[in-house]
């Protein structure tokens, strides 16, 4: 049985004691109290009023927006049907925040239905004091104090949720519309022991990643597939383009679409080394020029380590006889070849 060692800081970071937020069980109880209050409405005007409060609550709960941002929304233009997101912020600092598909559908159904009749464009524009009082009352229903259920606490709760889900802190900053990482950093703090543990675990993880000597990090830029196989084209951080062929089932399982982050790995025995001065013909899709750093020989195999122009190291294991025939020396210009079928793709786990 293989053991795995992964760096998962999200599992144990602390939140500043000055930040009010709700733990998962508390936000669930608060949301249920709101839902029950909304469902208890009988009169038509009460049903409409409570539906407005409910959707404002859900917007705050799922976007981390400021109360004023939600209450000033022009619902006729703020929602993008094609992308399932809402535009928040003021002119010059507009940000697009993705919404859960079920929430987006619920909002659209209300706005375009009888409950939204006559309120299009102003559906979210209610008195902030009234909304706060509704929050306090629903918090009281489930035993939560005012400072835990105010709009600011909902904003903080969403930030902590995203960080615990592995969303990078810079993206959380942008989603919240904060001007500085210093503000966002209050949501994610590590003790000295935590920091030491993270670094030690990272060192251990890097040491263990030796079964695939070649690793490339980038984003998917193209996908071509049929019912059985798929070709995935990725571009690395330095602009190098790499091709991989995987099964269509793997494509769906990994959810590899254009723009998705991905890591490609290739085992050294599957990499070939070709001298640049020759013009060989081959079927390998991936061919990258590099400078030989060193050649380590053994009676059976030789390890050839090269460095590409962008600084990426690439390694090949070839037969000792092939190494003798090539007569490689440090500083030689070569090409490293490997087939698209030799590439293993991995999604980046947050």
pLDDT tens digit at each of 350 positions of the chain? 333 334 444 445 567 778 889 988 999 999 999 999 999 999 989 999 999 999 999 999 999 999 999 999 999 999 987 778 899 988 778 999 999 889 999 999 999 999 988 899 999 999 999 999 999 999 999 999 999 999 999 999 998 888 877 777 788 888 888 876 655 666 665 555 544 554 455 444 444 443 567 888 888 999 999 989 999 999 987 889 999 999 999 998 888 888 888 889 999 999 999 988 666 677 788 999 999 999 998 888 999 999 998 888 899 999 989 988 999 899 999 999 999 999 999 876 54
**How many whole angstroms separate alpha carbon 216 and alpha carbon 264?**
5
- Domain made up of 214-347: CATH architecture: Beta Barrel (2.40)
Q: What is the pLDDT of residue 152?
A: 94
CA–CA separation, 232 vs 175, rounded Å? 30
Structure tokens at 49: 């009023």
pLDDT value at residue 139: 96
Angle at 283 between CA 277 and CA 287, to 5 degrees: 50
Closest CA to 184 of 350, 12, 66, 16: 16
**pLDDT confidence of residue 54:** 97
The burial of 132, by beta-carbon neighbours within 10 Å (0-12 exposed, 13-18 middle, 19 or more buried), is given as: middle
pLDDT for position 203: 43
CATH 2.40.50.100 residue ranges in the chain?
Answer: 214-347
What is the pLDDT, as a whole number, of residue 111? 93
Contact predicate 331/291, CB 8 Å: yes
How high is the pLDDT of residue 141? 96
- The confidence score (pLDDT) of residue 202 equals 44
Query: Cα-Cα-Cα-Cα dihedral of 169, 171, 173, 175, to 10°?
Result: -140
Please name the residues in contact with 215: beta carbons below 8 A apart, sequence gap of 6 or more.
209, 263, 264, 265
Contact between 149 and 138 under an 8 Å Cβ cutoff? The reply is yes
What per-residue confidence (pLDDT) applies to 5?
A: 39
Q: Which CATH code fits 9-187?
A: 1.10.443.10
Q: How far apart are CA 284 and CA 346, in angstroms?
A: 21
Q: What stretch(es) of the chain map to CATH 1.10.443.10?
A: 9-187
Q: Can you give the pTM of this predicted structure?
A: 0.57
Query: Using alpha carbons only, what angle is made at residue 8 by residues 205 and 239, rounded to the nearest 5 degrees?
Result: 65
**Residue 229: what pLDDT?**
94
54, 38 Cβ separation under 8 angstroms? yes
CA distances from 17 to 163, 186, 255, 338 (A): 16, 9, 38, 53
Give, rounded to a whole angstrom, the gap between the first and last alpha carbons of the chain.
Answer: 24
Rounded CA Rg of the chain:
27
pLDDT of residue 239: 87
Q: What secondary structure letter does DSSP report for 349? A: P
Residue 311's pLDDT is 83
Supply the pLDDT for residue 6: 44
Q: How many residues does the chain have?
A: 350
Q: Where are the beta strands (DSSP E) in the chain?
A: 79-80, 85-88, 95-98, 214-225, 229-236, 241-247, 261-266, 272-275, 286-297, 301-307, 313-319, 333-338, 344-347
What does the angle CA 35 – CA 103 – CA 69 come to, to the nearest 5 degrees? Answer: 90
């Amino acid at each position: 049985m293989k053991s795995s060692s992964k760096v998962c800081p999200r599992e144990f970071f602390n939140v500043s004691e000055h930040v009010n937020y709700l733990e998962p069980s508390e936000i669930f109880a608060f949301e249920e109290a709101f839902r029950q209050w909304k469902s208890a409405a009988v009169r038509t005007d009460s049903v409409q009023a409570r539906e407005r409060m409910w959707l404002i609550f859900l917007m705050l709960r799922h976007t981390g927006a400021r109360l004023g941002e939600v209450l000033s929304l022009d619902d006729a233009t703020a929602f993008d049907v094609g992308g399932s997101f809402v535009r928040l912020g003021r002119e010059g600092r507009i940000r697009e925040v993705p919404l859960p598909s079920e929430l987006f559908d619920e909002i659209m159904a209300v706005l375009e239905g009888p409950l939204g009749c006559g309120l299009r464009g102003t559906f979210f524009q209610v008195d902030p004091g009234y909304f706060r009082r509704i929050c306090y009352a629903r918090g009281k229903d489930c035993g939560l104090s005012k400072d835990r259920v105010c709009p600011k606490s909902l904003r903080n709760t969403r930030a902590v949720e995203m960080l615990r889900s592995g969303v990078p802190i810079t993206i959380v900053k942008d989603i919240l519309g904060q001007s500085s990482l210093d503000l966002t950093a209050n949501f994610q703090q590590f003790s000295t022991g935590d920091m030491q543990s993270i670094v030690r675990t990272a060192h251990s993880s890097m040491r263990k990643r030796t079964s695939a000597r070649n690793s490339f990090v980038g984003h998917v830029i193209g996908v071509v597939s049929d019912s059985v196989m798929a070709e995935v084209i990725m571009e690395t951080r330095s602009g190098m383009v790499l091709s991989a062929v995987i099964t269509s089932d793997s494509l769906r399982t990994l959810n590899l679409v254009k723009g998705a982050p991905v890591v490609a790995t290739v085992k050294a025995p599957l990499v070939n080394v070709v001298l640049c001065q020759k013009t060989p013909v081959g079927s390998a899709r991936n061919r990258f020029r590099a400078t030989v750093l060193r050649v380590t020989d053994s009676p059976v195999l030789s390890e050839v380590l090269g460095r590409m122009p962008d600084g990426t190291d690439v390694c090949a294991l070839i037969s000792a006889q092939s190494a003798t025939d090539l007569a490689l020396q440090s500083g030689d210009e070569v090409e490293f070849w490997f087939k698209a079928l030799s590439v293993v793709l991995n999604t980046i786990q947050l």
